[in-house]
Amino acid sequence: MKTACLYLSMALLIVSISPAAAQSSATEKYESSMLGLSRSKGLSLDQKADQLKQIYDAEFAQTVTTARPSDDELEALFKAANMMASYTLLRDHQDNPIYVGHMRHALSELQRRNLAGDREIKEMYGALIAARMFEEASAIAKRSPTLDLPQPPSIDTPAGFDQGRPAYFEIEGATGQLKLKNDAQTRGVRIIVVAGCHVSLDAANAIASDKELQGAFHKANTLWLTPAERTLDIAEISEWNRKFPQSPMRIAYTNRSWQGLDFSNKPTFYFYKDGVLLSKHVGWSRGGVPAPILTALREARLIR
């Protein structure tokens, strides 16, 4: 859970843009096309993702099957696949393993040529954590002790767990262990809050300080859900849960299993009845509870 409310931070990779050259290298193409597009403020997330995929397929994907790619081509492939892996945490989730696989391919060859540095290893580790490939992430952490990469936590997976259904990690307070659970509620009124930023914290504080609001959100069995990201910060989530015992935060097992939820903006409030989405609202106001949230609560008969 991070303080930034737009979940694009992992996609906007910090790489300096090289001066234009008469004949662009693969890295220069990445920096001028993909990196430049990702930083554009005039396009929506969907527009960026569509255009980035077209550029990736045209300029970088073929490196995976090239017999003897150059060092520069491999480095550009790793950076481009890394960006696509980040964007597919937000949409086109089914493609995420493809780009993680391309990162793996590029990193393996870069390491064979002694060209992979700490940054590439850390990016690979983060992509594996976000993709929930914990065993592979753990192996990287063990092979790179000087990087102090955290070992993935112990996970309690119950019998019958279905990774295809909406699911989340719940932190057990006494042990700090992560327990996987499938989301069960399909009947009645339900609120899901995509959260995990300073504005989410403002919202949780306001709800906790108002008895009527707190009662309404409790009655709806509200789920506070932070997305799958490249970190799995149990300490930060545990701190949230200590502060808001009536509104504990859960961590999405995978984003793709939560169809219909937009993890790119936090907080977003979703109001359901019997599993059917009634309304949603993005954001929170420091001046008071946003009117659309009050309207949704009244329509659900959670407040008067």
pLDDT (mean) for 22-28? 78
Quickly tell me which residue has 């150059």 as its tokens.
Answer: 70
Q: 112, 129, 147: which is the final residue of a domain?
A: 147
Both 81 and 174 in one domain: the answer is no
- Considering the domain architecture, whether residues 277 and 196 belong to the same structural domain is answered as yes
Domain-embedded: residue 14: no
45 shares its domain with 165: no
Domains: count for the chain: 2
Find the domain containing 95 and state its range. Answer: 26-147
Averaged over 5-12, what is the pLDDT?
43
Give me the phi and psi of 65, to 5 degrees please. Answer: -105, 0
Q: What is the pLDDT of residues 251-271, one digit of tens each?
A: 999 999 999 999 999 999 999
Q: Which pLDDT band, with edges at 50, 70 and 90, does 23 fall under? A: low
What local confidence, expressed as pLDDT, does residue 1 receive? 55
Same domain, 181 and 121: no
110 and 174 share one domain: no
Of 147, 179, 212, which residue sits at a domain end? 147
Helix axes 134-143, 118-130, angle to 10 degrees: 160
Average pLDDT over residues 244-257: 94
The DSSP element (H or E) to which 181 belongs, if any, is: strand 178-182
Mean pLDDT of 40-45: 90
Residues 164 and 141 in one domain: no
pLDDT digits (tens, 9 = 90+) for 76-128: 999 999 999 999 998 888 999 999 999 999 999 999 999 999 999 999 999 99
Question: Is 2 contained in some domain?
Answer: no
Question: 119 and 49, same structural domain?
Answer: yes
List of long-range contacts for 286-291, beta carbons under 8 Å, 24+ apart: 286/202, 289/206, 289/210, 289/213
3-class SS of residue 8: coil
Over 80: is that where the pLDDT of 5 sits? Answer: no
Tell me which of 147, 174, 190 is where a domain ends. 147
- On the question of a cis peptide bond just before residue 248, with omega within 30 degrees of 0, the verdict is no
Contact predicate 190/300, CB 8 Å: no
Do 36 and 132 have their domain in common? yes
CATH number of the domain at 180, please. 3.40.30.10
| % of the chain with per-residue pLDDT over 90 | 80
pLDDT at residue 6 greater than cutoff 70: no
CATH number at residue 48: 1.25.40
Residue 209 pLDDT exceeds 80: yes
Q: Which residue has the tokens 């609560």?
A: 297
pLDDT higher than 60, residue 222: yes
**pLDDT in the model for residue 83:** 97
Neighbours of 109 (CB within 10 A): 19
Taking a C-beta distance cutoff of 8 angstroms, is the pair 33, 44 a contact?
Answer: no
Least Cα distance to 59 among 17, 30, 90 occurs for: 30
pLDDT at 286: 86
Rounded CA gap, 71 and 110, in Å?
A: 7
User: pLDDT (tens digit, 9 = 90+) per residue, 174-191?
Assistant: 667 899 999 987 789 999
CA nearest neighbour of 271 among 203, 202, 222, 208: 222
Reduce the DSSP state of residue 142 to 3 states and report it.
helix
Q: Are 160 and 139 part of one and the same domain? A: no
The mean pLDDT of the chain is: 90
pLDDT at position 241 is 94
The pTM of this model reads 0.87
Summarize the confidence of residues 237-246 as an average pLDDT: 94
Mean pLDDT for 67-77 is 97
Pick the closest to residue 84 from 108, 67, 117, 61 (CA basis): 61
pLDDT per position as a tens digit, 143-167? 999 999 998 888 999 999 998 899 9
What's the whole-number mean pLDDT along residues 216-227?
95
Residues 6+ apart with CB under 8 A from 178: 153, 154, 155, 156, 169, 170, 171, 172, 232, 234, 251
8 Å CB contact between 3 and 198: yes
Would you place residue 205 in the very low, low, confident or very high pLDDT band (cuts 50, 70, 90)? very high
Place of tokens 């983060």: 126
Assign 18 to helix, strand or coil.
coil
Listed in sequence order, the residues at least 6 apart from 110 whose beta carbon sits closer than 8 Å to its beta carbon are 71, 74, 75, 78, 116, 120
Q: Same domain, yes or no, for 193 and 245?
A: yes
